[in-house]
């Protein structure tokens, strides 16, 4: 299988990695705000993107016209252990960026299927007034991205759907940990982003990614971020 093209951005250290990734996201938001009344950025949870979020929060943007949401969320109550919403709000929605609007994927007391349906309906309703600026992805040691886990029973459906979000049951997938039930962005969702960014750190993650470029998306779901036509996936990596 031939590896698709992607843009590799290697940084000498964490400071350069944070600066370059945040600058690219700031530029994407500026461009989106120039072509639409509002701009949307989709973030990943976890510790890896946190310093990039902190840096982006200081950007001189019209945050009142920016909507922040997530590429995935666990089926947990907002603000509880495991909530990606709590992580995103704590790392980005501060300072200047506190003026942004936040769209949770899993509202309080919502059933997972209802949360997926609401997220998809909101996405479609915003078309024309909200420009998707960027999608920020991460990757696990099992080559999952967003909440698309290899071996999950819903993976094939999520990869093929035309809806931006799908429900995922990753029961039995070690990478899902204590939260197998998820809502995840799909390739149909990230296809519209003029900037698709993957944040990686460490030699181990680099090796996983390089193997994934030669695999298929069912075995290495991050491959699906490479296979979407249009702009290349921008991979920002630093060794430490």
Domain boundaries of the chain, sorted by first residue: 6-144+190-238
pLDDT attached to residue 43: 96
- CATH 3.40.50.1360, domain 6-144+190-238, yes or no: yes
For residue 18, pLDDT beyond 90: yes
What is the pLDDT, as a whole number, of residue 2? 67
Q: What is the DSSP letter of 216?
A: -
What pLDDT, on the 0 to 100 scale, is given for residue 117? 98
For the cut 80, the answer to whether the pLDDT of residue 4 exceeds it is no
What is the per-residue DSSP string for the chain? -PPPPEEEEEESSHHHHHHHHHHHHHHHHHHHHHHSSEEEEEE--SSTTHHHHHHHTTS-S-GGGEEEEESEEESS-TTSTT-HHHHHHHHTSSGGGGGSEE--SS-TT--HHHHHHHHHHHHHHTTTTEEEEEEEE---TT--BTTB-TT-TTHHHHHH-SSSEEEEE-TT-GGGTT--EEEEE-HHHHTT-SEEEEEEESHHHHHHHHHHTTS-TTTSGGGHHHHSSSSPEEEEEE--
Q: How much is the pLDDT for 54?
A: 96
Q: Which of 137, 119, 220, 237 is nearest to 175 (CA)?
A: 220
Q: How far apart are CA 125 and CA 116, in angstroms?
A: 14
**pLDDT band, residue 45 (cuts 50/70/90):** confident
Helix (H, G, I), strand (E, B) or coil at 105: coil
pLDDT digits 0-9 by tens, 52-95:
999 999 999 999 999 999 999 999 999 898 999 998 889 999 99
pLDDT tens sequence across 204-233: 999 999 999 999 999 999 999 999 888 899
On average, the pLDDT of the chain sits at: 95
pLDDT tens digits along 178-206:
999 999 999 999 999 999 999 999 999 99
Q: Give the per-residue pLDDT at 88.
A: 85
Polymer length in residues for the chain? 240
In the prediction, which pLDDT does 1 show? 58
pLDDT score recorded for residue 29: 98
Residue 152 has pLDDT above 90, yes or no: yes
Average pLDDT over residues 98-107: 96
């Amino acid at each position: 299988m031939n590896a698709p093209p992607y843009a590799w951005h290697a940084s000498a250290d964490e400071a350069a990695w944070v600066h370059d990734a945040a600058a690219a996201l700031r530029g994407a938001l500026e461009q989106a705000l120039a072509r639409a009344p509002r701009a949307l950025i989709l973030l990943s949870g976890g510790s890896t993107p946190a310093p990039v979020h902190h840096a982006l929060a200081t950007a001189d943007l019209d945050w009142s016209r920016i909507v922040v949401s997530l590429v995935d969320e666990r089926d947990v109550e907002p603000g509880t252990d495991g909530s990606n919403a709590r992580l995103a709000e704590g790392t980005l929605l501060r300072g200047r960026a506190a003026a942004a609007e936040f769209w949770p994927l899993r509202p309080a007391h919502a059933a997972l299927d209802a949360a997926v349906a609401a997220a998809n309906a909101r996405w479609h309703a915003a078309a024309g007034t909200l420009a998707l600026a960027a999608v920020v992805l991460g990757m696990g040691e099992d080559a999952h991205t967003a909440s698309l886990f290899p071996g999950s029973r819903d993976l094939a459906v999520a990869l093929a759907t035309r809806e931006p979000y799908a429900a995922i049951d990753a029961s039995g997938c070690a990478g899902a940990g204590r939260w197998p039930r998820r809502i995840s962005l799909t390739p149909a969702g990230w296809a519209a982003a003029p900037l698709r960014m993957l944040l990686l750190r460490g030699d181990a993650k680099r090796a996983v990614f390089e193997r994934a470029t030669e695999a298929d998306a069912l075995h290495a779901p991050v491959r699906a971020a490479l296979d979407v036509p249009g702009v290349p996936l921008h991979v920002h990596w630093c060794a430490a």
